[in-house]
Amino acid sequence: MRHPTILSAWLLVALTASACITAPPRKPGLPPDPLISVDGRVIDSAAAWQDVRRPEILELFRQHMYGRAPSHMPLTIESVQEELALDGLARRKQWRIRYGKHEGAFLDVLMYLPREVTGPVPAFLGLNFFGNQTLHTDPGIRMPSSWVRNDKKIGVTDNRPLERSRGARANRWPVERILARGYALVAVYYGDIDPDFDDGFANGVHGVLDPPIEGKRAPDAWGSIAAWAWGLSRVLDSLEREPSIDATRVAVIGHSRLGKTSLWAGAQDERFAMVISNNSGCGGAAYSRRRQGETVQVINRAFPHWFSRSFRAFNDREDQLPIDQHLLIAAIAPRPAYVASAAKDSWADPEGEFLSTLGASPVYRLLGTEGLPVDKMPEVDHPVHGQLGYHVRAGKHDLTWQDWQQYLAFADRHFAKQ
């Protein structure tokens, strides 16, 4: 008689071989199929997506593009302040999240809540470029104490924001209109997490949690986008402790480099109930393989601190990437995700942003949702809303009220209580 363990091992191999259908190898140049695993298995069930393909995709993005963030760590909340604001229309709450003993190891959170709320409300959470005070002229908003990029128009000199920077970006954050629709708005200055310049990862959260050792870092050590995404998850940690917020209905939103960030945050952290990418382009929603507008080489050279060092291996070799950006959107499935382009934003490759959203759609459908309700790029100013949403707005690279109107409608649709 055969040895029982050899027999059962053989049986196992035979059964596994018959259970998984292997796909023919993919032609070089085509983006990877979201529904075929690295070892060639066809992903044909929600369980196979969740247990095999999604973790493998996230791992590939960590290894080759955004880098690996440290695991969760304890936070403390301090300097909590709450008062009425905006002529009594809102409650403004601010707090500080401290993630280490080091003096600069904190982020300052600003939250506006509609004044009249009974029970927890859904929220939009977004990072900003020049400080929370740029969202509104409200004099009670705390100014950042970390490094801010000089900008005459906004009102930043010697890397410190001036009083006149209050409300300088109010056009991007229609606070009153968001509140009027019953949502809270939560804001954080991205430079509190990691100042956006290449300093060898000495400052910001990298310097506190993961400083270079003798000037050296692993090829897959996290870049700034991963750090900003990490920060968004820490803000969500704090929102989970906030009784006025329904932390199961938080949409993460970001523009441009911060749209790349909201996608990476939402792809990894399943607690984000909705993800919005506004004009995120290369390294965000746009396919890298298309090489339209900004390319991998261009972005890695201009912003060497945004991605892991390992991403540079794909400079001018996009076809060799084991991932592409449709998989980043797919990793959010089945949660609602919205990708928006601007017609004049050729640097961000609007068509590439649309196509990768479409490329994520088969995963949404596998998971029982409708995905993207079109298969051709819609005309300018003709938004489409399904479980995936997309629009290309007339005009340039920006976050406008027109964009927000779609995000609010999309959130109303998906966050509505049954």
Question: Any idea which residues carry the catalytic annotation?
Answer: 256, 397
**Minimum distance between the CB of residue 58 and ligand GCU, rounded to whole angstroms?**
22
Strand partners, 95: 109
Contact (CB, 8 A) for 111 and 136: no
Cβ neighbourhood burial of 133 (10 Å; 0-12, 13-18, 19+): buried
Cβ-based neighbours of 344, under 8 Å, separated by 6 or more: 394, 395, 396, 397
End-to-end, the C-alpha distance of the chain in Å comes to 62
**Minimum distance between the CB of residue 182 and ligand GCU, rounded to whole angstroms?**
30
Nearer to ligand GCU, 105 or 347 (CB): 347
- Concatenated DSSP letters of 175-196: HHHHHHTT-EEEEEEHHHH--S
Nearer to ligand GCU, 108 or 345 (CB): 345
Where does 171-273 show beta strands of DSSP type E?
184-189, 245-255
**Minimum distance between the CB of residue 145 and ligand GCU, rounded to whole angstroms?**
23
**Minimum distance between the CB of residue 365 and ligand GCU, rounded to whole angstroms?**
29
Cβ-based neighbours of 248, under 8 Å, separated by 6 or more: 271, 273
Could you list the residues that contact ligand GCU (CB under 6 A)? 256-257, 281-282, 294, 299, 302, 347
What is the Cα–Cα distance from 222 to 201, expressed in whole angstroms?
9
Nearer to ligand GCU, 137 or 171 (CB): 171
Using alpha carbons, select from 333, 193, 341, 196 the residue that is nearest to residue 255: 341
**Minimum distance between the CB of residue 187 and ligand GCU, rounded to whole angstroms?**
17
Nearer to ligand GCU, 179 or 328 (CB): 328
Radius of gyration, alpha carbons of the chain: 22
Contact (CB, 8 A) for 396 and 385: no
What is the Cα–Cα distance from 126 to 254, expressed in whole angstroms?
6
**Minimum distance between the CB of residue 398 and ligand GCU, rounded to whole angstroms?**
10
Nearer to ligand GCU, 94 or 356 (CB): 356
**Structure tokens that stand for 331 in this block:** 């990793």
**Minimum distance between the CB of residue 348 and ligand GCU, rounded to whole angstroms?**
7
Nearer to ligand GCU, 309 or 347 (CB): 347
Nearer to ligand GCU, 184 or 232 (CB): 232
What is the Cα–Cα distance from 310 to 322, expressed in whole angstroms?
13
> Which position has the token pair 């009784």?
243
**Structure tokens that stand for 332 in this block:** 């959010």
Cβ-based neighbours of 320, under 8 Å, separated by 6 or more: 313, 314
What is the Cα–Cα distance from 378 to 358, expressed in whole angstroms?
12
